[in-house]
């Protein structure tokens, strides 16, 4: 499979990507964008052609003021049939299957760089050994509880540290590549 799967995500200091109920209020409240700083997001999103996310993440993103993935193909992993708004029917599709099956299908369609998003989806792709790149931005807040970025693994997974950037607002962003 000539396809790269990447993570670009923010976590609390204690490793949570959202509160237990899925709320991101802590992140939105922390997102002080120093003079328009986007923490590398536009460069990253420009490099991908497809997003794969779970149903819960999709439904959360639908509540944003505007659809943040215009011009990108979005695959929602679900065994059910989540409602896709008519305005997104040309760019969003629902797919089921294991991460390996999903990547195989996307690769067969010509996908080259996939952004994997959502806690369970990221964990499934990691367990399947499909994540090649991770960019994790740690926000200086402790939540104490929530949805973790990482879950249980059946083996150790080694990553090579590429770089770490620090920002004036306390954000620390580290990039890793799978070994």
pLDDT tens, the chain, 179 aa long: 589 999 999 999 999 999 999 888 898 766 655 567 889 999 999 999 999 999 999 998 998 888 999 999 999 999 888 889 999 999 999 999 999 999 999 999 999 999 999 999 999 999 999 999 999 999 999 999 999 999 888 899 999 999 999 998 899 999 999 99
Q: What pTM was estimated for this model as a whole? A: 0.92
The pLDDT of residue 34 is 58
Rounded CA-CA distance 100/140 in Å is 34
Q: How many CA atoms lie within 13 A of 144 on its CB side?
A: 0
**pLDDT score of 151:** 87
Provide the CATH number for the domain formed by 10-23+52-92+100-178 in this structure.
3.40.430.10
Residue 76's alpha-carbon distances to 2, 79, 91, in angstroms, are 21, 10, 11
Domain coordinates in residue numbering, the chain = 10-23+52-92+100-178
Given this model, what pLDDT does residue 32 score?
A: 58
């Amino acid at each position: 499979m000539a396809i790269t799967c990447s993570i670009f995500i923010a976590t609390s200091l204690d490793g949570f990507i959202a509160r237990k109920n899925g709320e991101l209020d802590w992140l939105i409240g922390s997102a002080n964008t120093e003079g328009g700083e986007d923490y590398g997001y536009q460069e990253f999103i420009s490099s991908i052609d497809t997003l794969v996310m779970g149903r819960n993440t999709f439904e959360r993103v639908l509540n944003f003021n505007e659809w943040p993935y215009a011009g990108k193909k979005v695959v929602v992993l679900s065994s059910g049939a989540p409602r896709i708004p008519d305005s997104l029917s040309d760019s969003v599709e629902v797919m089921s299957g294991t991460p390996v099956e999903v990547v195989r299908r996307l690769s067969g369609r010509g996908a080259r760089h996939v952004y994997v998003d959502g806690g369970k989806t990221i964990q499934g792709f990691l367990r399947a050994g499909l994540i090649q790149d991770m960019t994790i931005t740690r926000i200086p807040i402790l939540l104490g509880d929530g949805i973790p970025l990482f879950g249980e693994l059946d083996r150790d997974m080694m990553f090579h540290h590429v770089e770490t950037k620090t920002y004036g607002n306390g954000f620390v962003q580290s990039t890793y590549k799978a070994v």
